[in-house]
Amino acid sequence: MTFTEWFIFFLVVQVIHFAGTWKLYQKAGRKAWEAMIPIYNAVILMKIIHRPWWWVILLFIPIVNLIMFPVIWVETLRSFGRKSTADTWLAILTLGFYIYYINYTQDVKHVKDRNLKPATTAGEWVSSILFAVVAATIVHGYLMQPFTIPTSSLEKTLLVGDYLFVSKFHYGARIPQTPIAFPMVHDTIPVAGIKSYSTEPQVPYLRLPGFEEVKKNDIVVFNWPVDTVNAFQQYGDGKYYHKPIDKKSNYVKRCVAVAGDSLEIIEGKVFINGKQLQLSERAKPQYSYEGTTDGQQLNAQYMYQMYDITDGFYFNSATNEFVISALTEETAQRLRNNPYIKSLERRIYPEEQKSASLFPNDNKKRYNLDYFGPIYIPEEGKTVAITPESLPFYRRIIEVYEGSEMGIDNTISLNGTQVLLNGKPIESYTFKQNYYWMMGDNRHNSEDSRSWGYVPYNHVVGKPVFIWFSKDKYASGFFDGIRWDRMFTTVKGDGKPVSYLPYFLILVVIFFGFNYFRKRKKSDS
């Protein structure tokens, strides 16, 4: 839906509200016309039902309003003496239209001094749970979202088993584009394994102001741009789903190039605008290595315990050759000093060895993981030439990211050497948003922009800022596997991460101690 369509929908809702409540407004001592004025009518309604004015704000927050509307319907009925269980269920099951029946057929009176406390313990629990869900949904959607590191693409920087808090306000929180969805879950309802949202309607893309922009070296959580995977773990049914942007799978990678940059990878090293990218101090890039021993047998357990190799170790006992999927240069040097190691070399794909599976997935432009580009990262407002040679780089941008996902029907075709957009010749294109190049620090074992290309700005979710828990999947016992030194550490910063867990525990003890003595003093008095 476009902004115009949403505005029309908003006006229709106002008409429906006026038609179903104007008599109730009069019975509450208000004027009938007050039920007609948008927003103002909601403020007056809050006065009628004896609820705070800021509830009106909750009615305009997607997903939260799905909880608030039924609450408002029930509260309206109770403010006019209709508080039976049957009245409550009729309000919810008729989507509020039961109020029409009360408005036009029942002689009800406004209860001016209604007791707002739930009449039963069950009612009090329901009320508490509803508003806990509302508060959590607001925090989850606009401030902080929990996130788990599922893969090793950023291993040694962010580890498999790290539990993060992702800030949505650093880059600016997005207004949820899918307004009808189960709160606080992503694309699937846990346990049930079913879709958690309705694809229609869709809210136009809108992002609240942030206080910083995505920068090179930032670790970023974003929606996987090409996510049309088999949904809800029902693998094998042959079905694929085109998800709304905010319901695409969440990925986390490092931003190595921003809009306007030119990127090239040479021998596995990233170059931006002709200069090698200087990674932050905590970044730990890893590469694949291969080597031989002097005959000594090595196993994965030994390599994990001695060298923290977690991403795959393969040893051929017949030839004494081994392959390490991911290794930092610092650890590689340590390993070379091992007397058992006869040779150790970093794997580098030859420049002439091409891979058709990498972006832009074109027979004429084939790269590999270690030799890639040069490639331009599109910038909002910049114009590029569109030719049959450049088209593979920008086709998805024009047709999808700035086409169908923005409600625009863009179709690219070729007529000989002429590129056609919606049947008309096109020689250039001006980008409507910024794009980014995201890569994993695990250079040889990361599905990233080298596989599927650019990440649009409207796919950016947030910035990981804090590790609140970390569990080593290789450990046998639960408590043995807790990485205590990583708990309550920041993601960004220089030097070795410092855990703030002791300070947190001290604050908890102080809080509960203060609360205990305060209650005891109050009880004694």
Residues annotated as catalytic (active site), given as ranges: 153, 253
Phi, psi of 375 (to 5 degrees): -140, 140
Taking alpha carbons only, the member of 211, 198, 203, 205 closest to residue 172 is 211
Length reported for the chain: 525
Q: Which residues contact 344 (CB under 8 A, 6 or more apart)?
A: 289, 290, 291, 332, 335, 336
Contact 293, 304 (CB under 8 A): no
CA torsion sign for 387, 393, 399, 402 is: negative
Taking alpha carbons only, the member of 178, 175, 71 closest to residue 131 is 71
CB atoms within 10 A of CB 283: 17
What is the C-alpha separation between 197 and 491, in angstroms, rounded?
A: 31
What is the C-alpha separation between 93 and 95, in angstroms, rounded?
A: 5
CA distances from 413 to 213, 363, 409, 419, 453 (A): 35, 17, 13, 6, 20
What is the C-alpha separation between 313 and 165, in angstroms, rounded?
A: 31
Q: Which two tokens stand for residue 472?
A: 């080593």
Classify burial at 396, counting beta carbons within 10 Å of its beta carbon; exposed 0-12, middle 13-18, buried 19 or more. Answer: buried
